[in-house]
Amino acid sequence: MDLDQTISALHSAFVAQLDRASTLEAIEAVRVEALGRKGKLSEISKNFGKLPPEERKTAGARLNQVKQDLEARLEARKADLQSTALDAQLESEWLDLTAPAPGPRPGSLHPVTQVQREIEDLFVSLGFTVLDGPEVETEFYNFDALNIPADHPARDMQDTFWLKDGRLLRTHTSPVQVRGLEKLGPPLKMIAPGRVFRNEEVDPSHEHTFYQLEGMMVDRDVSVAHLIYFMKTLLSAVFHRDVTVRLRPGFFPFVEPGFELDIQCIICAGKGCPVCKQSGWVELLPCGLVNPAVLRYSGVDPEQWNGFAFGLGLTRLAMMRYGIDDIRLFSSGDLRFLRQF
Ligand SMILES: [Zn+2]
């Protein structure tokens, strides 16, 4: 094979390699092998010294022609590959601005809100008024006016978030009883749903922020029978079925006599679980006849009026209703949880 044929063969081989090169790295490898300082074509030119001058001139011209051709092909192939990559990127990032929007994501009310609204509807149908009260309360409304003296355990500093100015985050919705009576006077049938705060150790059944629903009826000759009637109506409406309840005597400064109404744990059907602390029962609401002292603090004459009151754990009720065994889920903001309602 003479020199010219050798050069032509190398040329064809490199052109074929270049056609197969599908990455910039592969193209660069071809360039180094063909045109690099130690490349195949340079090797050939090293032997030119042995050639007669006439042949050397022809071979040199031929070699330069091949080098130029390969250089042009290398550049063209590189540009080709880059534009393919750009096309692919454009295709993958393509956005149709004329496509219709997916529309608003269907949301839903928080499970506690759903239970709250249902109970509001029920009590409104029974002639009750729905009242609201401040979440930042004074010591007077949160404690004193509810007949909770300064030495009562409910005033324990550990239990309450105090503000620097002496006010506090209300620990229950009961202050609205006093505010409601002050503003509207007797006779009064009211409920007050809302957010309350406790400086609690957080665990599956305790949260620092949760919801209660206060209820009160003040009229003439209100008795425990009234109280039991409304509580039964409330619970059968909320659970849409018969639930087992028990009434125990309980001490709460703002009622006299006071009761603790327990509901048999719906999550474990009374067998025992973390929510009911393995007891099978869940304290659902304290209730009783309004303590005359509270009426007096509210500017109402206890000789003329009396009433019943109850405080419902709205969050706890939602847990029972939906079989949720961890109270922390409610305020976790976890959409996987919330989208189930
Ligand atoms: Zn249980």
Our count of domains for the chain comes to 2
Domain CATH for 241: 3.30.930.10
> Are 122 and 225 found together in one domain?
yes
Please tell me the predicted confidence (pLDDT) of residue 158: 57
> Are 87 and 179 found together in one domain?
no
Average pLDDT over residues 279-302: 91
Ligand 1 centre to CA of 4 (Å) is 95
Q: 227 with 288: CB under 8 angstroms? A: yes
Whether omega before 257 lies within 30 degrees of 0, making that bond cis, reads: yes
Indicate whether 161 belongs to any domain.
Answer: yes
List the one residue out of 307, 290, 291 whose CA is nearest residue 217.
Answer: 307
Ligand 1 centre to CA of 205 (Å) is 11
Per DSSP, the three-state class of 203 is strand
Ligand 1 centre to CA of 323 (Å) is 10
> Are 167 and 258 found together in one domain?
yes
> Are 43 and 129 found together in one domain?
no
Query: Distance between CA 3 and CA 314 in Å, rounded?
Result: 97
> Are 283 and 250 found together in one domain?
yes
Indicate whether 145 belongs to any domain.
Answer: yes
Ligand 1 centre to CA of 280 (Å) is 5
pLDDT band, residue 205 (cuts 50/70/90): confident
Ligand 1 centre to CA of 251 (Å) is 24
Indicate whether 97 belongs to any domain.
Answer: no
Side-chain-facing half-sphere of 230: CA atoms under 13 Å:
30
Q: 286 with 252: CB under 8 angstroms? A: yes
Query: Distance between CA 315 and CA 318 in Å, rounded?
Result: 5
Indicate whether 309 belongs to any domain.
Answer: yes
Q: Is 222 exposed, middle or buried (0-12, 13-18, 19+ CB in 10 A)?
A: buried
> Are 297 and 223 found together in one domain?
yes
Decide which of 58, 92, 126 is a domain's last residue: 92
Q: Which domain holds residue 28?
A: 3-92
> Are 208 and 165 found together in one domain?
yes
Please tell me the predicted confidence (pLDDT) of residue 151: 81
Ligand 1 centre to CA of 108 (Å) is 27
Please tell me the predicted confidence (pLDDT) of residue 1: 58
Ligand 1 centre to CA of 264 (Å) is 8
Ligand 1 centre to CA of 33 (Å) is 78
> Are 86 and 115 found together in one domain?
no
pLDDT at 170 over 80: yes
Average pLDDT over residues 155-172: 85
Ligand 1 centre to CA of 284 (Å) is 13
Ligand 1 centre to CA of 268 (Å) is 4
Ligand 1 centre to CA of 116 (Å) is 22
> Are 80 and 178 found together in one domain?
no
Ligand 1 centre to CA of 271 (Å) is 6
Ligand 1 centre to CA of 321 (Å) is 12
Per residue in 211-231, pLDDT tens?
A: 999 999 999 999 988 988 888
Decide which of 40, 57, 92 is a domain's last residue: 92
Per residue in 112-153, pLDDT tens?
A: 999 999 999 999 999 999 999 999 999 999 998 888 888 877
Ligand 1 centre to CA of 325 (Å) is 9
List the one residue out of 232, 255, 263 whose CA is nearest residue 302.
Answer: 255
pTM of the model as a whole: 0.65
* pLDDT above 70 as % of the chain: 99
> Are 141 and 290 found together in one domain?
yes
Ligand 1 centre to CA of 331 (Å) is 21
Indicate whether 101 belongs to any domain.
Answer: no
> Are 183 and 232 found together in one domain?
yes
Please tell me the predicted confidence (pLDDT) of residue 310: 93
Ligand 1 centre to CA of 240 (Å) is 19
Please tell me the predicted confidence (pLDDT) of residue 107: 84
Ligand 1 centre to CA of 23 (Å) is 65
Indicate whether 100 belongs to any domain.
Answer: no
Ligand 1 centre to CA of 273 (Å) is 4
> Are 76 and 181 found together in one domain?
no
Decide which of 92, 119, 134 is a domain's last residue: 92
Per residue in 8-35, pLDDT tens?
A: 888 888 888 888 888 888 888 888 888 8
